[in-house]
Amino acid sequence: MLHWFIVFILSLRLYIIARLSTSNDSIQIEENKIIAPDKNVSPKNVLDTDPKKKNNHDCNNIKQKAEQEIANLKLEIEKLNFRKNNMDFLLNYFNSKNTKYSSKDVKLGDQS
């Protein structure tokens, strides 16, 4: 019973980590929403159109997205390793149960 509780706690921990890592993506998506332009506002007043700054901002944005993707992939690898370890644990557990009792030891009903 204790091993199932441990498996549950570790699964819950990974679920929480996954939810926290995906919450950053939703914030990023909301920040990048396209807003309809106002006819009275010119782009030069709103944004600095210096190409160097724009290119730097684009590079930083790409770098940030790449770092987030790497973090997500590392989390996915951790989750898959965790699942593999759980499956190995369960296989070992059930294999040990099967080797303790052979088919000769099992008696069906009253055979006197």
- Quick check: 97 pLDDT over 50? yes
Number of structural domains (the chain) is 1
Q: Is residue 34 part of a domain?
A: yes
What does the pLDDT read at residue 29? 45
Q: Is residue 111 part of a domain?
A: no
The average pLDDT across 10-23 equals 70
Q: Is residue 108 part of a domain?
A: no
Give the C-alpha separation, 112 to 110, whole Å.
6
Amino acid at 80: L
Q: Is residue 52 part of a domain?
A: yes
- Judge whether 14 and 78 are in contact, CB under 8 Å: yes
pTM, 2 dp: 0.39
What phi-psi label fits residue 104: left (phi over 0), alpha (psi between -120 and 50 degrees) or beta? alpha
